[in-house]
Amino acid sequence: MMDQELEWSSWMRAGNAGDNAAYARLLASLTPMLRGLARRNLTRTRLEFDLEDVVQETLLAIHLKRHTWEETRPFGPWVRAIIRHKLVDAARRRGFRIEVPINDFTDVLAAPTPNPERSVGSVERYLDELPTRQKDVVRALTLDGATIRETASRLRTSEGNVRVALHRGLAALAARIRRFET
């Protein structure tokens, strides 16, 4: 686990310094662990959870709060704290109180990934509630797999505007998710 954490730390640091590929690698590497933890902690509730929704909400939270990680501190406790918070939050919003033990992370086997073939998922559904510009940009960059440059030319605007719309759109998505309760 320590080696894994050191690797994550270095990717996070690289991401902070501008290496987008390292940051993407970090998020992809965290994903199987997130799936395993979501499965372990949420299926106990015997409620139908779309686990992949929770995984995506957690990745979004890790992204939006990444500035709260201080590079001099260990990465593991930080990311685990965020994951715990989001798992509890995901359960609470669906009407459940759960507790995630701090030590729950030590032997999570990476869930064998098949990323479930999914139809829509809640993150995509909330997209529709965003203001038009943000919705178009986030849609283009996620569902359509476009780059920032391609999106800028498709929407006839500058790359700078696209970046701003993406940034705001992601924050707005998180706010929508927060407000939604089943």
Interface with another protein (CB under 8 A): 15-16, 18, 20-21, 23-24, 27-28, 31, 52, 55-56, 59-61, 63-70, 73, 77-78, 80-82, 84-85, 89, 115, 118, 120-121, 123-124, 127, 138, 141-143, 145, 147-148, 163, 166-167, 170, 174, 178
C-beta closer to another protein: residue 46 or 128: 128
Shorter beta-carbon distance to another protein: residue 46 or 135: 135
The answer for residues whose C-beta is within 8 angstroms of residue 112's C-beta and 6 or more apart is: none
Cβ 88 to another protein shortest distance, Å: 9
Q: What token pair was written down for 82?
A: 């965020």
Nearer to another protein, 17 or 47 (CB): 17
- What distance in Å separates the CA atoms of residue 167 and residue 170, rounded to the nearest whole number? 5
Cβ proximity to another protein: between 22 and 108 the closer is 22
What is the spatial distance between Cα 92 and Cα 181, in angstroms, rounded to a whole number? 8
Contact 77, 8 (CB under 8 A): no
| Shortest spacing between CB 156 and another protein, in angstroms | 19
User: Which DSSP symbol is given to 130?
Assistant: S
Question: Using CA atoms, how far apart are residues 106 and 125, in angstroms rounded to an integer?
Answer: 34
> Rounded to whole angstroms, how far apart are CA atoms 59 and 2?
21
